[in-house]
Structure 1
Amino acid sequence: MNSDTTKIGILGIGGIGGFVGAPLAKKYKDSETKIIFICRGETKKAIQNEGLLFESKGETTTIIPDLVSDNPTEIGILDVLILTSKSYSLKDVLSTYKDCINEKTIIITLQNVVNAKEIIRETLPEAGQIMEGCIYVASNVKQAGHVQHVGGPGKIFVGGKENIQLIKLLTAGGLDITYVENINEILWKKYLFVAPVAGITSAYKVTFGQLLEDENLMHILENMMIEIQSLAKKNNINLTNEDIETSKDLLTKFPFESKSSLQLDFENDNQTEKQFLVDYVIENAKKYGIETPFYNGVNEKIKTLYNVS
């Protein structure tokens, strides 16, 4: 990172981008650390005109970053790029903003996948440092330029090459972020929660609280987690039965009415991450000869319910 000015871009100001970008832009306003919100369309227009409305713990704050733009030339070369866009758009956004990235740019991923680095390397083989990461939070878009933090601790874990200076900068900026050596294990533990919960809440149209109260659905959820446990093992990651219990218990940490982002995208007729949260498990398990009857059942319900492939 440049010792004088540090340019941090947050790509995608949706639920996660807003949650990450808001404290950073608030803390580093009028400083040598420049916070850039990279977004387009109605979101860009709303934030340029009114600022980002960020709602958390009963308080709504108006956040004004240093720049709101979707123009690579205006954005320039970034020291840090935090990717908060949906998994399905990773390749497109990286291609669009490749001129903002050089070999010194540190890319931080916060997608709900276990293969983000792979996707980035396919698109930008010359990319420098990639810090794969994940975040535990429920944060949604109420409308363009208005993000609501619903629940969850907001804890961020990142891996890759250790960068103490960057972690200190982001922590001082209000993020609860921790560097871990073995990020793959953390990514799989997050995936163990996110993917089955996303699938089952979408298939059965239930909130987190309704899921917890339904014994039959919790049985299906646990078996979906066991299927992911088998897939993780083939990827040299040992997910224990205790990890499964921890994932199930995590549901209790969210408000009763919480919904998965996959479910919300289906409800709002948006493009979804089904390919990464449902299809990925089934297709990769098949390669290893792992049976996934519970994932298959949920997938069939989703396909019928939402008329998708």
Structure 2
Amino acid sequence: MNSETIKIGILGIGGIGGFVGAPLAKKYKDSTTKIIFICRGETKNNIQNKGLLFESKGEAETIFPDLVSDNPAEIGILDVLILTSKSYSIKEVLSSYKDCINADTAIITLQNVVNAEEIIRETLPLAGQIMEGCIYVASNVKKPGHVQHVGGPGKIFVGGKENKALIDLLLAGGLDITYLENINETLWKKYLFVAPVAAITSAYKVSFGQLLEEQNLMHILENMMIEIQSLALKNNIILTNKDIETAKDLLTKFPFQSKSSLQLDFENNNKTEKQFLVDYVIENAKKHGIETPFYNDVNDKIKTLYRL
């Protein structure tokens, strides 16, 4: 971040990448801060030819970043890499774009996991600054190159070594981003919401609104959250009963018909993040001797429903 030109790459222009990339590309057009959309296939072709169509709060805009590419040689070394790809893609995409990353590159993660740094270090053991983060937003791909912000405030929290210059740059670029010294607690609080909601909506094929209306399902959801609470404690993170109530209440902040990305991926026969949102809980709880009957039951329903 000491050079005159700052290169920020957004890796994966899906729902999250589009939400993050659109304001940055709009704000920093024709400036010394260069915004690069890193994507492939139809998404890359559509944005190169027609721009990114981004919808939010009833308005639609077409955004053109400084570069749209999947070629590491063309992208070059990045000052900042915002990683917005799915959790299951982290290792693959970082391997593909390792030549764009050096020890000075700040990597910001926005996946729905609590162990992103561990995953990255397995692939890039010499990576420099890793700022684990999370984002509170519902944003979906309507078609490649067309992203719709459905709901949620878009609030971003990041941790790691403090980098005020970078946070200020992203704030000025239109992102609602906050640095937290202890990010792990926030990551677990988000996971407390995301993981069980994704699992139960997928298992029972219900929207967020339908889930809220089903007392029995809300009872199952609460017990799944209690199982995550027990797992968090084994990781030295204290999630309170108030945190569970806050997580359940978060369902009311989304439109009635909202669906989890896991559910949408199952419905569209896409690769899913089940490994990180369901299997991770069950497997790690077992290592710590924690019983997860509610998670196990939901997992069985998912495997039967989707023939896994």
Q: TM-score, normalised by structure 2?
A: 1.00
Shift of 1:209: 0.3
> Cα offset for 1:259?
0.3
Say whether residues 1:71 and 2:41 are aligned partners: no
Matches within 5 A, 1:268-279: 268-279=268-279
Which amino acid letter does the alignment assign opposite residue 58 of structure 2? G
Q: 5+ unaligned residues in a row in structure 2: which ranges?
A: none
Matches of 1:306 and 1:63 in 2, distance apart? Answer: 37
Given residue 264 of structure 1, which amino acid in structure 2 is its aligned partner? L
> 1 CA distance for matches of 2:97 and 2:124?
11
Aligned residue for 1:196, secondary structure, equals: helix
Give the Cα separation in 1 of the matches to 2:208 and 2:273: 18
Matches within 5 A, 1:241-280: 241-280=241-280
Pairing of 1:18-57 with structure 2 (within 5 A): 18-57=18-57
Q: Distance in 2 between matches of 1:3 and 1:143?
A: 36
Give the Cα–Cα distance (whole angstroms) in 2 for the partners of residues 306 and 66 of structure 1.
41
Q: Secondary structure of 1:162's match?
A: coil
Aligned alpha-carbon RMSD (Å):
0.4
- Tell me which amino acid in the other structure corresponds to 2:135: I
Q: Distance in 1 between matches of 2:222 and 2:39?
A: 37
Aligned pairs, how many? Answer: 308
| Structure 1 runs (4+) greater than 6 angstroms displaced | none
Q: What residue number does 1:104 align with?
A: 104
Matches within 5 A, 1:33-182: 33-182=33-182
Q: Could you give the per-residue CA deviations for residues 95-126 of structure 1, whole angstroms, max 9, x where no partner exists?
A: 00000000000000000000000000000000
Q: CA deviation at 1:3?
A: 3.5
Corresponding position of 1:200: 200
Q: Partners in 1 of 2:298 and 2:136 — Cα distance?
A: 24
**1-side partners of 2:264 and 2:62: how far apart?**
25
Measure the CA separation in 2 of the matches of 1:216 and 1:49.
Answer: 49
Q: What's the counterpart of residue 7 of structure 2? A: 7
Shift of 1:302: 0.3
Q: Secondary structure at the match of 2:216?
A: helix
- Distance in 2, matches of 1:48 and 1:277, equals 33
- Kindly, what percent of the aligned residue pairs are identical? 86
Q: Is the 8 A contact 1:114 1:184 kept in 2?
A: yes
The structural deviation recorded for 1:135 is 0.2
> C-alpha displacement at 1:2, in angstroms?
2.8
- Return the letter of the residue paired with 2:114: V
d(CA) in 1 for partners of 2:221, 2:145: 34
Q: Which amino acid aligns with 2:222?
A: E
Q: Deviations over 1:58-94 (max 9, x none)?
A: 0000000000000000000000000000000000000
8 Å CA contact retained: 1:2, 1:79: no
Kindly provide the CA deviation profile for residues 173-218 of structure 1, in whole angstroms up to 9, marking residues without a partner as x: 0000000000000000000000000000000000000000100000
Normalized against structure 1, the TM-score is what? 0.99
Matched with 1:289 is: 289
CA distance in 1, matches of 2:304, 2:83: 32
Q: What SS does structure 2 have at the residue aligned with 1:216? A: helix
State the Cα deviation string for residues 267-294 of structure 1 (Å, max 9, x = none): 0000000000000000000000000000
1:240 aligns with 2:253: no
Paired residues of 1:154 and 1:176 also in contact (CA < 8 A)? yes
- State the alpha-carbon separation in 2 of the partners of residues 49 and 105 from structure 1: 29
For the pair 1:300 / 2:300, whether they are aligned, the reply is yes
Q: Distance in 2 between matches of 1:231 and 1:192?
A: 10
Residue by residue over 1:20-78, the C-alpha shift from the partner in whole angstroms, topping out at 9 and shown as x without a partner, is 00000000000000000000000000000100000000000000000000000000000
Gaps of 5+ in 1: none
Alignment partners' CA distance in 1, 2:280 and 2:267? 21
Shift of 1:264: 0.3
